[in-house]
């Protein structure tokens, strides 16, 4: 794994574009985003206001009712900071609103397992995710494990 650039959360017009998926969810068209995305409703850590953020689903376990997501901007993401402080969230997933869900950061071992599964199922998307985060990977299990050390993975338990 090789670091190719430093990343920062989007600002200006880029931030507006990143928020565009929220528009689709808010007008009831979230399903056009497919099953690889979820909209989180989370409480601001300082303001107490409710915010909504769309993130990519890394994995979904329907039997355990668990969704796994990643913070592409690592610990810099506002949504990550918010759910770290208040893990009770609401989510909109596959056209259904779950008004009670809990988020927790995965251990390093569990993060590696989830990310390896994702990389095996979506090798091209994994390379693009790594590039988005500022890394170049060769797709090997070793590189995926190294990336898991950089990428916070969150488990959402649906209630």
Residues 7-49: pLDDT tens digits? 777 788 888 888 889 999 999 998 888 888 999 999 999 999 9
**pLDDT attached to residue 81:** 96
**pLDDT attached to residue 51:** 97
Q: What is the DSSP string of the chain?
A: -EE--------HHHHHHHHHHHHHHHTT-GGGG-TTEEEEEEE-TTT--EEEEEEEEEEEETTTTEEEEE-TTGGG-HHHHHHHH--EEEEEETTEEEEEEEEEEPPHHHHHHHHHHHHHH-HHHHHHHHHHTTEE--S-HHHHHHHHTTS-EEEEEE-
**pLDDT attached to residue 63:** 96
DSSP bridge partners of 88: 102
Segments in the chain below pLDDT 70: none
Query: How many domains in the chain?
Result: 1
**pLDDT attached to residue 98:** 96
Torsion (CA) 151, 35, 93, 22 in degrees, nearest 10: 80
Quote the CA–CA distance of 90 and 66 in Å, as a whole number.
13
> Which CATH number fits the domain that encloses residue 96?
2.30.110.10
**pLDDT attached to residue 5:** 83
Which range of residues forms the domain containing residue 16?
2-158
């Amino acid at each position: 794994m090789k670091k190719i650039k430093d990343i920062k959360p989007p600002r200006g017009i880029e931030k507006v574009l990143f928020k565009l998926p929220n528009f689709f969810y808010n007008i009831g068209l979230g399903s056009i985003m497919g099953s690889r995305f979820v909209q989180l409703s989370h409480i601001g850590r300082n303001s107490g206001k409710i915010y909504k953020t769309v993130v990519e689903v890394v994995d979904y376990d329907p039997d355990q009712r668990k969704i796994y997501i990643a913070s592409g901007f690592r610990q810099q993401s506002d949504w990550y900071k918010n759910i770290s402080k208040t893990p009770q969230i609401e989510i909109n997933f596959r056209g259904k609103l779950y008004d009670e869900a809990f988020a927790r950061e995965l251990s390093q071992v569990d993060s590696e397992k989830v990310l390896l599964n994702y990389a095996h199922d979506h090798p091209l998307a994994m390379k693009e995710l790594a590039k988005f985060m500022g890394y170049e990977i060769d797709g090997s299990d070793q590189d995926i494990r190294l990336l898991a050390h950089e990428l916070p993975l969150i488990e959402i338990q649906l209630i």
